Structure 1
Amino acid sequence: MSDWSSKPKLLLHICCAPDGTVPWEELRGRFHVTGYFYGSNVHPEEEYLKRLQAVMTLKEHMAGDLITEPYDPEGWMRRTWALREEAEGGGRCGLCFAVQLMECARRAVEGGFEWICTTLTISPHKDPVRINAIGRSLAKMNGLMWEERVWRKGGGFVRSVEMSRRMGLYRQTWCGCLWAR
């Protein structure tokens, strides 16, 4: 399937621009990729705006499309409030992944996409088994297909650092969660 229009449509959940580099580049060989940035889990707003700008810059480098959600930190806090005291990597993180991927699946259905995927598994700090299980479940519930990847394998994380530096992308030092600070 070399013709761009004949490729299946995939909505790629991008947690941050640096983590989106390798996945977007690799997936566009098989799919018509559109980036998706949720961002309401990022605090404060100034940090969100830096990350949004970086994702928009990545979109330009990838010559692709991008869907962004309106910034709604209050909505995200309502959803995660009960787990705010959880340790990093605990239940709150799983809920945060689920919220982001649920919104990605919703947008994929609305936009007529067949596949969804996430960049979250490029991070050495995130559990790819957990993330892929959440993604598979949400894809199935929404009649979508899940592109299961562990992007950090084979030097993916190191390549993402190199690519993001070459592209001049903003590189943050934490996930963005208010409760993780």
Structure 2
Amino acid sequence: MSVWPAWEVREGDRATRWLHVRLAFADGARVEALAVVTEDGVRVEEARARPGLSLEDLAVFADWIEEPLARACGVGPGGGDAAGSGAHRARADGPAGPEGGRLVAREYRAAQAEGADPVLAVMGATGCSRRGALRLIGRARDAGLLTPRHARRRAAGTAR
């Protein structure tokens, strides 16, 4: 992945940065994008992919490139935040504690029963990104509040 600056606009102590992003894969696939980094997060202004991205891939693209863009903007140990204001905003990990796990499990199962996307339901209930919602769902599974993702299957006639 390559990241390089396009331009920056400053207003007082706030900054908005546009960056070029290029991803090249071993199989020859490529994604080029123009991303905007502000204190509110990352937005993708333009993306070109060869072969084209599915809607699902495009939906998670900004989350996928967020960390490398933050590093390019100096976020991390000794750096400022992505917008240059000097105060990095912490991300919420979603609802905490046992009640949070129960909320995630309840929303997940309700969406499944309605035939809706359970991950989107958890995203809506918690305000988390898709990646954050998947993390919360994993925690709920680990806590035994949801069934395991992949049930282990045994071949017929074999015992352990």
TM-score over 0.5 (shorter chain): no
Q: Higher relative contact order at CA 8 Å, sep ≥6: structure 1 or structure 2?
A: 1
Task: Give the greater-gyration-radius structure (CA).
Answer: 2
Q: What TM-score results when the alignment is normalised by the length of structure 2? A: 0.30
Which structure has more strand as a fraction of its residues? 2
